[in-house]
Amino acid sequence: MAGGGAAIGVLALQGDFAAHAAALERLDVAVREVRKPAELEGLDGLVIPGGESTALLILMGADFPPALRAFHAAGRPIYGTCAGLILLAREVLNPRQPSLGLIDVTVERNAYGRQKESFETSVDGRLGDEAVPFHGVFIRAPRIRRVGPGVTTLATRGGEPILARQGSVLVGTFHPELTGDLAVHRYFLRMVASPQSPALDPDGQTAIGAGGSPR
C-alpha cells in the first residue's frame, strides 16, 4: 500500500515510460500516461523517464516547459531518470542544451564513454534513514558533475552522486524501473505523500527555476 491511492503521471512522449508505469502499478498508485500538458491536471506527482533528452525537448514543444514549471511551483513532486534528469537539471554539458532548471545540478550527457556505454552495477544509497543497496542499470547515462548547496545526494557510485534530491525534485542517473527493485519508486511515493514547498529546500534556500529557466 505504498501509494495510498495517489495519481502519478508518467511523461509518455518517448523513452521507457512503460517500464516506469509498470513499476508504479505494483505500488498501489493510479498511473496515467501524460502526452499533453493538460493531462498534468489532477496528478499528485510526475515521472520523467529515460530516453533521448534531445528528442524529448523537441517533443515537449513550447507548451510543456511552462506547464511543468507550474506543476513544480504547485509543490507536486517530479522524479527524473537519466534523460529525465537531463531535462530537470539546471545546467547540461556535452553538448550544452536547454533544460527546465528545477534542480541545481550540472550534468554531462553520455559521460561514461564508449566502452562503458551501458552497464549494471551495485551501488550504495541512503533513502531517508534507510541504507539501501541498489542494483543500478546505467544506459548511455549522464554523470552529475556538480550538486548545488541545496541538493541532497542520496546514492553514490565511486564517490559520485547518482541519485539526488532538492525539495520536491528527485533525479537519478540510473534506471530502477528496469530492475524490479522498487525502493526508489517507493521513496518517490513518500515524497508525494508528504510534499514540501518547492520554493524551499531543506536548509531554507531558494530553489532554482520556480520563476523560469535561466536559459
Q: Are 196 and 166 in contact (CB under 8 A)?
A: no
Residue 176 interacting with ligand GLN (CB under 6 A): no
The 127-146 site mask, x for binding ligand GLN (CB under 6 A), equals ------------xx------
Residue 52 interacting with ligand GLN (CB under 6 A): yes
Which of 112, 139, 192, 105 has its CA nearest to residue 15?
139
20 is catalytic: no
HSE-up of residue 202 (Cα within 13 Å, Cβ side):
12
The 97-116 site mask, x for binding ligand GLN (CB under 6 A), equals ------------xx------
The nearer residue to ligand GLN, 10 or 86, going by C-beta atoms, is 86
The stretch among 6-14, 63-71, 79-87, 153-161 that binds ligand GLN (CB under 6 A) is 79-87
Crossing angle of helices 183-193 and 17-25, in 10° steps, is 70
How far is residue 100's CA from residue 9's CA, in Å, rounded to a whole number?
18
Among 3, 9, 45, 50, binds ligand GLN (CB under 6 A): 50
Report DSSP state, residue 37: G
Phi, psi of 165 (to 5 degrees): -140, 140
The nearer residue to ligand GLN, 177 or 201, going by C-beta atoms, is 177
How far is residue 82's CA from residue 87's CA, in Å, rounded to a whole number?
9
Pick the catalytic residue: 20, 72, 91, 175?
A: 175
3-state secondary structure of 125: strand
Residues tagged active-site: 82, 175, 177
List of residues contacting ligand GLN (CB under 6 A): 50-53, 82-83, 86, 109-110, 139-140
